[in-house]
């Protein structure tokens, strides 16, 4: 092929592309004005492509304009062709849709009647559009008659009946939508037909009982729908909480009609839970745990209960009820030999997570002490079993450590705490971090048990392990506490100072530094308050062994001693103790006494800081601002001075507050 020939072919292809684009993108104009030679040229230059008719080209232009949102131009093209008297039926119906999209309802009706003058000859689609147009034009009765005519075309066609019901619903007539579906169901002779649609329409109509009935029928028709319908049942139970017994009875009636569908028992259990009938819910589920085919569904219910308890707006008491049922389900599945092995890890996981969630639930503290102990002991058995079955499992380790802390700190039961910590510390598959936490926990539990000698030995071994710098620092901090408790103040100060220097950002660093400074201040005080230091050591032991009331009593005694560094430190501890328990007025009294009675004390700046925070809690921001401003004026060397500046910045002056709509 010569270069000239190739050039001519390239130019020809470019010309063809230009002509086609011109056809598609040209401004709207009457179809009759479109030169026929353009279509002819396109056909002649595109071998093997089926010839496009003028109607095809018009349709393409209409669709291109519609896609760009230029519906008015598309309508003009079709109306011009219609006025010429040669608009094909398919394009006429496209014009109907464009009228509908632009809400030209009168034009919709007019054109439909032009296409089919006798409504008796209209098909389902035309009748549906005609009815909608008449409704939009405010002729509701006429629209309803047209829609009824559409029903009569095929009163046993489920998909068409569902469409008509939806149209009635869109018109705001849910009652007629329900009536249409029920009549068609009766004609079909299938009591489960339209269950999903009916449940939705009943919900919109505000009929919770019938909505539950139809939702249960959806599951009766297809048990695999359980996962989806469970959420709907839970929502209905919440929306119609005052009708709980009625909802439950409706579900029972469906179960009586379909006794071979065990999934219905799961929905009934959900409804029973919604009215607080935990035992009734479990009685429904108990027989199902032995059915292998339902293991997955039951486990989903248990997991859902756990997930629901974590929602931000979850009610603590309701969550506790759901969690207890989750535990029963998981425990029942694990105790049954028919559970598929593939589900066992998830069942153990769900059991342990649910038990820990129960312990963390605020309503747990309201239970009877014996019941609380029972749940704790069951949790201990479950986490120990999971540690044994799944060595190295992070959830098992975390749950074990969490539970051990509860036994040690909240219950004062160091023996069980040591057992739990030991399950992790002796597990070679556990992470180094978890093993370290467990070893430290064992040592602290020995302190709680009163065996400070064994605790010192354990802390010493951890402190000598250079492979764990964090563990070393924690161990030496605890050894410093033991030194202080034992009256070895010089050793305690040395350890605490070293810890504060090595781990300045650690959570315990500030406490270590405060204790080191306290000992130093007493030593340079001329006459150290030996009895005060001894009593403070007693308080540290009470703190380590979680004896809150005894600790409060000891601090109050120390706070009333003659002024000394120990006195000021004890008063600060009292402020923090009362603040943590929400006793803000009591905390404020001691903060004020530090400021007023010990103006030269190192504790004043911290007392002013705590005082400001307490005043904010008591809704006294002006006085809080004054306390923080005083720190900036009188205690520039306060270690938390930057935080004080930030706090002040967050408090706007009353005359500088931004009014609504004003740009700051």
| Residue 590: inside a domain | yes
Token output for 152: 């009569």
- pLDDT value of residue 123: 81
Q: How far apart are CA 308 and CA 292, in angstroms?
A: 25
Write the DSSP string, 263-327.
Answer: HHHHHHHHHHHHTT-HHHHHHHHGGGGG-GGGHHHHHHHHHHHHHHHTSTT--HHHHHHHHHHHH
- pLDDT value of residue 38: 43
| Residue 387: inside a domain | yes
Question: pTM for the full model?
Answer: 0.65
Q: Among 416, 449, 482, give the residue marking a domain's end.
A: 449
| Residue 81: inside a domain | no
Q: Among 449, 483, 511, give the residue marking a domain's end.
A: 449
The parent domain of residue 408 ranges over 368-449
| Residue 63: inside a domain | no
Which residues of the chain carry a pLDDT beneath 50? 1-11, 14-26, 28-39, 41-42, 44-45, 655-664
Kindly report, residue by residue over 391-429, the tens digit of the pLDDT: 888 899 999 999 999 888 878 889 999 999 999 999 888
| Residue 425: inside a domain | yes
> What CATH number should be reported for the domain holding residue 634?
1.25.40.10
Under DSSP, the state recorded for 511 is H
- pLDDT value of residue 6: 45
Classify the phi-psi angles of 276: left when phi > 0, otherwise alpha if psi is within -120 to 50, otherwise beta.
left
- pLDDT value of residue 632: 93
| Residue 375: inside a domain | yes
> What CATH number should be reported for the domain holding residue 403?
1.25.40
| Residue 445: inside a domain | yes
- pLDDT value of residue 642: 92
Q: Could you give phi then psi for residue 392, rounded to 5 degrees?
A: 85, -5
- Domain count along the chain: 2
- pLDDT value of residue 462: 96
Q: Among 449, 472, 489, give the residue marking a domain's end.
A: 449
| Residue 595: inside a domain | yes
245 near 275, Cβ under 8 Å?
yes
- pLDDT value of residue 512: 93
């Amino acid at each position: 092929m010569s270069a000239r020939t190739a050039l001519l072919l390239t130019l020809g292809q470019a010309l063809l592309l230009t002509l086609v684009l011109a056809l598609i993108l040209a401004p709207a104009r009457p179809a009759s004005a479109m030169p026929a030679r353009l279509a002819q040229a396109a056909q002649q230059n595109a071998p093997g492509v089926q010839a496009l008719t003028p109607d095809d080209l018009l349709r393409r232009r209409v669709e291109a304009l519609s896609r760009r949102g230029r519906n008015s131009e598309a309508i003009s093209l079709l109306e011009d062709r219609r006025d010429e008297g040669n608009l094909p039926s398919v394009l006429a119906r496209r014009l109907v849709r464009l009228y509908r999209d632009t809400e030209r309802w009168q034009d919709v009706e007019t054109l439909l009647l032009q296409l089919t003058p006798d409504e008796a000859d209209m098909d389902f689609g035309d009748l549906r559009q005609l009815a909608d147009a008449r409704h939009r034009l405010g002729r509701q009765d006429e629209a309803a008659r047209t829609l009824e005519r559409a029903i009569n075309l095929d009163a046993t066609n489920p998909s068409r009946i569902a469409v008509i019901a939806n149209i009635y619903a869109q018109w705001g007539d849910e009652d007629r939508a329900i009536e249409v579906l029920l009549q068609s169901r009766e004609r079909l002779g299938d009591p489960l037909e339209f269950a999903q649609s009916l449940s939705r329409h009943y919900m919109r109509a505000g009929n919770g009982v019938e909505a539950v009935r139809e939702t249960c029928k959806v599951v009766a028709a297809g048990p695999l729908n359980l996962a989806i319908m469970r959420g709907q049942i839970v929502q209905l139970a919440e929306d119609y909480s005052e009708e709980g017994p009625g909802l439950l009875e409706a579900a029972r009636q469906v179960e009586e009609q379909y006794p071979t569908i065990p999934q219905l028992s799961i929905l009934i259990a959900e409804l029973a839970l919604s009215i607080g009938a935990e035992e009734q819910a479990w009685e429904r589920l108990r027989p199902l745990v032995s059915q292998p085919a339902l293991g997955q569904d039951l486990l989903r219910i248990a997991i859902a209960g756990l997930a629901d308890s974590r929602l931000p707006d979850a009610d603590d008491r309701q969550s506790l009820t759901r969690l207890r049922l989750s535990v029963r389900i998981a425990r029942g599945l694990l105790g049954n030999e028919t559970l598929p092995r593939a589900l066992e890890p998830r069942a153990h996981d769900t059991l342990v997570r649910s038990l820990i969630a129960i312990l963390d639930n605020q309503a747990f503290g309201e239970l009877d002490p014996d019941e609380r102990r029972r749940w704790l002991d069951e949790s201990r058995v479950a986490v120990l079993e999971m540690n044994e079955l799944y060595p190295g499992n992070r959830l098992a380790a975390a749950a074990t450590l969490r539970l051990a802390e509860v036994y040690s700190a909240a219950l004062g039961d160091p023996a069980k705490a040591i057992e739990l910590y030991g399950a992790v510390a002796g597990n070679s598959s556990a992470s180094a971090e978890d093993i370290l936490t467990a070893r430290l926990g064992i040592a602290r539990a020995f302190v709680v048990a009163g065996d400070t000698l064994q605790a010192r030995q354990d802390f010493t071994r951890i402190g000598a392990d250079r492979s764990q710098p964090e563990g070393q620092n924690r161990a030496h901090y605890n050894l410093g506490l033991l030194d202080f408790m034992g009256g070895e103040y010089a050793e305690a100060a040395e350890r605490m100072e070293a810890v504060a220097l090595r781990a300045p950002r650690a959570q315990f660093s500030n406490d270590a530094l405060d204790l080191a400074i306290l000992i130093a201040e007493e030593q340079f005080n001329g006459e150290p308050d030996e009895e005060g230091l001894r009593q403070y050591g007693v308080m540290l032991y009470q703190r380590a062994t979680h004896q809150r009331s005894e600790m409060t009593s000891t601090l109050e005694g120390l706070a009333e001693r003659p002024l000394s560094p120990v006195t000021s430190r004890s008063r600060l501890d009292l402020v923090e103790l009362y603040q943590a328990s929400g006793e803000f007025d009591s905390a404020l009294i001691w903060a004020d006494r530090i400021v007023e009675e010990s103006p030269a004390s190192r504790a004043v700046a911290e007392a002013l800081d705590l005082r400001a925070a307490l005043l904010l809690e008591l809704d006294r921001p002006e006085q809080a601002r004054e306390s923080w401003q005083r720190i900036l004026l009188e205690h520039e060397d306060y270690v938390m001075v930057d935080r004080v500046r930030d706090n002040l910045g967050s408090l706007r002056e009353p005359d500088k507050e931004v009014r609504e709509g004003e740009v700051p």
